[in-house]
Structure 1
Amino acid sequence: MTESLLSLAREVDDLGRRLTAVSTELRTLGAAPATAEPPDLAAGHPAPRRQVIEREGAAAASESGLWTGAGGEASAVGAAAGGGSSGFGAGGPVPYPSVPPVAWVRPPSGWAPPPPVPPGPPRKTLGEMLSAEGAGSRVLAWVGGAITLVGVVLLLVLAIQRGWLGPVPRVLVGAAFGVGLVGVGVRLHRVPAARTGAFALAATGLAVLYLDVIAATALYGFLPVLGGLGAAVGVAAGGIWLALRWDSEHLATAVIVATAVCAPVITGGPDPTLVAFLLVCTIAASPLRWPTTVLIARVPPVLASIGSSGVVGPTWQNTAAALAVTAVAVVLALWRLHRVPGDVAAQASQAVAVVPTLLAAAVLVDARGAVIAAATGAVLIAVWVLLGKPVAGVAGMVAVAQATAMHFDGSVMTSVLLAEGLLLAAAAWRTRDRVTLAGATGFAVLGALRALPIDIPPHLLVEPGVPRTGALAVAALLLAVSVAVPWAAWRAGAIPSPARSMGPWLSAGALALYGAAALVLTATLLAVPDRTGFLVGHVLITVLWAATALVLLAKGIETTPLRAAGLALVGAAVAKLVLFDLSALDGIARVAVFIAAGLILLAAGTRYARLVASR
């Protein structure tokens, strides 16, 4: 009984010491943020974090027997008092595990948490924009200006139909009406509260003046074309000057849009005169600092030239207008890119600038169309090479492809397309340029799409026949381009090496095998144009595949891709022997192909084994 009471007393005493140690530790942790140092980010820690350090609580715990040291190694608490008991009852107290150290780390000097990102302004709904102060007056003013402009156009059309007034009074009344609207707008602009109406009146008046010049030139012939263009330049320049003076993008845009919409009504549809007038408007808008307005001004002459090519047809006036649109668009795009490198609108304008000229060239029925397309392509490619504008290069290659299609036909066209792809592939190999590589791929695909179904069709390889004229050159170029393009793409980093991805290389290899087979068979058929030439050609194809496999295996001892290509070619040769040669060939040809291919494969296996053993 006494022994049990003594054991209980020891346990109570041990529990008291534990509570004292825990209380001391809690006080230490509570005081640590005020006395500890801030986090040290320079030490390599990704963020401030606390580490537990043993302070007075650890010392107290050590004195009380809870821990024996900083490492947290448990001791048998109460062993001396309890005669070696280490837990409640039969053993002594259960030791607490050590707590990992905590400390603050100092951040680098000048470090501060990043400021919160302010939320962007909320988007206004259509109802909020319409309910804003002054929105109603602006809408009424601009809608009124548009309706007034339409009314002027309808008045001119009605006057022509009813015979009201003469041509000269119509032009004079239109000019007076336009000048009056601009004058009222300038006067109203002096009053800040009336500037919304001033913008609309000035835009309407400028559009009326521009349309009046078009009518005087295109409808009545009062002004020669050059005189009308000069007057249009004056009106457009006045409108642009007024927009810059008033700092009004809406005014400039309104003049451009109104002119583009109403001018075809005056001229009676798209024609070279309309293209010239709209081109003048584009040139006048080019100095503006508003990119959206400049881009809008470049669209109407392109659309008008496209429509003119479809309506007017192959005339020198239409071709000249289309060339002017392309030249102006390219020059203005280059000027814009010089001022703002990487401008997306300028690049898009440069890309579509070639469309009017290519359409105008396509409607020509003689060699002039091919010459115009080729010259345009040469100029654009020169811009690409000299000024480093890849968009111009792409447009130029499209123009060259059209010139090739227009000037050549038959196997000659296929050969020229493949030759152009081969030249571009060689250039891409040296320069590692992705745009050049894209052009080489495009020309190669166009040539292959013509070669496979037309010049060297698949039935030529399985049935005796007479090949088309030029099929030998097409097959040779197809073989060359199917090898050159993937290697140029690998050098430019466009496709991975064969060790990493075999897909592109297998596709190119299959096309190369087809080209090689067509080349050999076409050559033998041209030399012996009967079944004998067909049989000899297939014997040579199988032997050639096997010999090429031997070369690839010999070169591929240290190169995995070549070794894989050689083994794949061995499989192709064996498949051809079993699936085609065994049934299609007969007599000495079948015997010769099996013996020759077998000997080559035996030599390949023996040589390959020696090379592997000597490594």
Structure 2
Amino acid sequence: MGAPMGAPMGAPMGQQWGAPPPQLFPPAGPPLGPTLWQRLSKDGAGSRILAWVGGAVTLLGVVLLLVLAIQRGYLGPLSRVLLGAALGVGLAGTGMRLHRTPANRIGALAVAATGFAVVYLDLVAATTLYHYLPSWLGLLAGLLVAGAGLLLAGRWDAELFAVFVVVGCAVCAPVLTGGFKPLLLGFLLVLMTATSPVLLRRRWPGLALAAGVPPVVASTVTILVARTATHPDTPKTTAAMLGVATTALVIALATAAAARQPDGDQLPGLLVGAVVPGLLAATLVPRLPAAGLAIVVCGFLLVVWLVDRSGLLELPRRFVTVAGAGSALALFQATMLAAQGRGLAPVLLGEALLFGLLAWRSRGTGVLVASAGFGLAGLLAALVHGLPIVYLLQPPRYAPPLGTLATAAGTGLLLTAVVAVLLVAATKAGVLPGPDHQPGPWLTGAAIGLYGASGAVLTVGLLIAPDRAGFLGGHVLVTISWTVTALVLLLRGIDHLPLRVTGLVLTGAALAKLVLFDLASLDGLARVAAFLGAGLVLLAAGTRYARLVAGRH
């Protein structure tokens, strides 16, 4: 056959008049950023590199002067401090004077930044090495010096200036303090605090990261060293309190930066790191104070989540998600520390129920995940302590205490409520399809809920008679309650397939329990009552169900 009408002879099928010929190679995408060679080839790149490298070398030289002067006996202590201060002030003043000329501004930034970093490190040495200044005065003076340098960087709109001061001081300070010690962490927190005014005015994500990471690392290392230390004078409580303070300040820093930088991809990572010292701090103190520290960390993160939910600040979604997950993790740690034994299951399930109700109302998937996590932990705790399976299978050897029975009843009721709320909340959030389309999760939830409800009903019998008679009477109530529930589901599900199927399945489960458990385990009147009760309910159910089915036709 020839080419279609309107197409030239020999043209491929589908190519119309005036259409551009097919391209063998697709057009190139957007051009990539400048390569390293292109950046180095720009005018002024060499001078900029030389200036900042010179500043870094100068900082190392000052650190070597202050450290080696002690080891080799060079100069006197006061002479070393004064020499370092004079060098730093001189460099800062020179940089400020050079900045007045536009041609000298590249070098002026490096010179001034080096000067402020030298003065800050000189204060660290005067406080930690030579003890000329008390700790509080050294920290206050460091805050003033770092704050002045960072404000000058903000005024000159030079992020590299600010980052150089922060990173240079953070890297060199551990050398002067002799390792990771609480006072080093104090100086790093002072350095981070000094960046806050600049971060509130400038969108500098690099500065937020440079200021937040060193305290987190130093605090984490300090806590780990304190944990492994065997000396009785190790300041474990001080390290724990500084860890929580680090978490609080870094959370505040990251939140302030996220409010100004909605596209800051590294800020959620900084928030994750901020949680680590606070959670590790709980390992340095006894159980109940440790739970209190975890609650404090949870509160800090919860404030971030609530601030975004209330509209006071507009924060990135990922940042808020990390804050919510961190608060749930801290709450879980506090719960595991504070509640133990039989009381752990109802507490976890109660928290899961609260999260589930919140997810039901807000339709938030993050809160839903938290509810599921707490619910799963509560289920495991219930199977081990709160409501173990053996509790439903064997009569008690002795009268259980009233508190044990009350805990078991509460655990069973909470377990049933959590399952129901979770299923409905997941459906409203669009995470779980209805039982018509995906019955597996619904049947699993129904089985867990049935387990909890059966445990609660069995406890009623034990509360009446805390012995074998109460156990047998409780199982009679369980069998009858299963049958009644199946009747209700069948009647309500006359026009709803999932309810109808669930009712039939529960009816089968009740019959299986009658034959496999009640017939073998119950005796005397208990066995008669179970069979008569279940049989009468089934007769009523069959009669009523048949009437409803006949009425539909």
Give the TM-score taking structure 1 as reference length.
0.72
8 Å contact 2:251–2:271 — kept in the other structure?
A: yes
Distance apart, 1:320 and its partner CA: 4.5
Determine whether 1:257 maps to 2:188. no
Cross-structure match for 1:296: 210
Which piece of structure 1 moves more, 322-331 or 260-269? Answer: 322-331
Cross-structure match for 1:602: 539
What letter is aligned with 1:255? V
Distance apart, 1:412 and its partner CA: 1.7
Distance apart, 1:354 and its partner CA: 4.1
- 1:496 partner SS: coil
Determine whether 1:497 maps to 2:434. yes
Q: 1:565 aligns with which of 486, 499, 502?
A: 502
Distance apart, 1:199 and its partner CA: 4.4
Inter-partner Cα distance in structure 2 for 1:445 and 1:253: 45
Determine whether 1:336 maps to 2:257. yes
8 Å contact 1:314–1:364 — kept in the other structure?
A: no
Inter-partner Cα distance in structure 1 for 2:141 and 2:516: 78
Which piece of structure 1 moves more, 446-455 or 434-443? Answer: 434-443
Task: Report sequence identity in percent.
Answer: 50
What letter is aligned with 2:218? A
Q: 2:331 aligns with which of 400, 409, 415?
A: 400
Which piece of structure 1 moves more, 464-473 or 300-309? Answer: 464-473
- 1:464 partner SS: coil
Inter-partner Cα distance in structure 1 for 2:56 and 2:516: 76
Cross-structure match for 1:217: 127
C-alpha offsets along residues 489-519 of structure 1, whole Å, 9 cap, x if unaligned?
Answer: 3233332222232232222112111212222
Summarize the Cα distance change of 1:592–1:303 in structure 2 as closer, same or farther, 3 Å threshold: same
Cross-structure match for 1:413: 344
Inter-partner Cα distance in structure 2 for 1:134 and 1:263: 31
- 2:410 partner SS: helix
8 Å contact 1:411–1:474 — kept in the other structure?
A: no
Distance apart, 1:453 and its partner CA: 2.1
Inter-partner Cα distance in structure 2 for 1:460 and 1:321: 46
Cross-structure match for 1:481: 418
Inter-partner Cα distance in structure 2 for 1:387 and 1:124: 38
- Higher RCO (CA-CA < 8 Å; seq separation 6+): 2
Give the TM-score taking structure 2 as reference length.
0.79
Cross-structure match for 2:490: 553
8 Å contact 1:271–1:311 — kept in the other structure?
A: no
What letter is aligned with 2:479? T
Question: For 1:536-547, what aligned pairs fall within 5 Å after superposition?
Answer: 536-547=473-484
Distance apart, 1:433 and its partner CA: 3.8
Cross-structure match for 2:457: 520
Distance apart, 1:477 and its partner CA: 1.8
Summarize the Cα distance change of 1:171–1:474 in structure 2 as closer, same or farther, 3 Å threshold: same
Inter-partner Cα distance in structure 2 for 1:234 and 1:522: 66
Distance apart, 1:365 and its partner CA: 1.4
Question: For 1:57-136, what aligned pairs fall within 5 Å after superposition?
Answer: 119-125=29-35
Q: 1:385 aligns with which of 300, 306, 311?
A: 306
Determine whether 1:271 maps to 2:202. no
Structure 1 residue runs of 5 or longer lacking an equivalent are: 1-25, 31-48, 51-103, 105-115
Give the RMSD, CA atoms, in angstroms.
3.7
C-alpha offsets along residues 47-74 of structure 1, whole Å, 9 cap, x if unaligned?
Answer: xx99xxxxxxxxxxxxxxxxxxxxxxxx
Summarize the Cα distance change of 1:339–1:134 in structure 2 as closer, same or farther, 3 Å threshold: closer
Distance apart, 1:554 and its partner CA: 0.8
Cross-structure match for 1:62: none
Summarize the Cα distance change of 1:573–1:214 in structure 2 as closer, same or farther, 3 Å threshold: same
Inter-partner Cα distance in structure 1 for 2:452 and 2:482: 12
Inter-partner Cα distance in structure 1 for 2:264 and 2:498: 43
Q: 1:369 aligns with which of 275, 283, 290?
A: 290
Cross-structure match for 2:220: 306
What letter is aligned with 2:351? E
Cross-structure match for 1:40: none
Distance apart, 1:601 and its partner CA: 2.8
C-alpha offsets along residues 123-154 of structure 1, whole Å, 9 cap, x if unaligned?
Answer: 55556656666655555554454344334323
Inter-partner Cα distance in structure 1 for 2:535 and 2:41: 89
Inter-partner Cα distance in structure 2 for 1:291 and 1:425: 35
Cross-structure match for 1:440: 371
Structure 2 residue runs of 5 or longer lacking an equivalent are: 9-15, 19-25, 227-233, 310-314
Distance apart, 1:180 and its partner CA: 3.9
8 Å contact 1:448–1:478 — kept in the other structure?
A: yes
Inter-partner Cα distance in structure 2 for 1:343 and 1:523: 57
Inter-partner Cα distance in structure 1 for 2:433 and 2:247: 39
8 Å contact 1:138–1:197 — kept in the other structure?
A: yes
C-alpha offsets along residues 309-368 of structure 1, whole Å, 9 cap, x if unaligned?
Answer: 333566554454344333333433443344445654445544554443333344221633
Pairs aligned (count): 511
C-alpha offsets along residues 530-552 of structure 1, whole Å, 9 cap, x if unaligned?
Answer: 44444433333232212211111
Determine whether 1:164 maps to 2:90. no
Summarize the Cα distance change of 1:536–1:214 in structure 2 as closer, same or farther, 3 Å threshold: same
C-alpha offsets along residues 210-245 of structure 1, whole Å, 9 cap, x if unaligned?
Answer: 211111122322223332223212322333244345
Distance apart, 1:182 and its partner CA: 3.8
Cross-structure match for 1:451: 382
Cross-structure match for 2:242: 321
Cross-structure match for 1:111: none
What letter is aligned with 2:475? H
Cross-structure match for 1:176: 86
8 Å contact 2:349–2:375 — kept in the other structure?
A: yes
C-alpha offsets along residues 518-537 of structure 1, whole Å, 9 cap, x if unaligned?
Answer: 22334434544444444433
Cross-structure match for 2:395: 464
Summarize the Cα distance change of 1:264–1:579 in structure 2 as closer, same or farther, 3 Å threshold: farther
Inter-partner Cα distance in structure 2 for 1:441 and 1:605: 37
Cross-structure match for 1:428: 359
- 2:285 partner SS: coil
8 Å contact 1:314–1:360 — kept in the other structure?
A: no
Inter-partner Cα distance in structure 1 for 2:424 and 2:41: 63
Summarize the Cα distance change of 1:151–1:342 in structure 2 as closer, same or farther, 3 Å threshold: closer
- 2:88 partner SS: helix
8 Å contact 2:223–2:239 — kept in the other structure?
A: yes
C-alpha offsets along residues 536-577 of structure 1, whole Å, 9 cap, x if unaligned?
Answer: 333332322122111111111233332232122223323434
Q: 2:530 aligns with which of 575, 593, 610?
A: 593
Which piece of structure 1 moves more, 404-413 or 207-216? Answer: 404-413
What letter is aligned with 1:412? G
Inter-partner Cα distance in structure 1 for 2:193 and 2:535: 74
8 Å contact 1:301–1:325 — kept in the other structure?
A: yes
- 2:63 partner SS: helix
Inter-partner Cα distance in structure 2 for 1:614 and 1:354: 63
Determine whether 1:284 maps to 2:194. yes
Inter-partner Cα distance in structure 1 for 2:352 and 2:48: 57
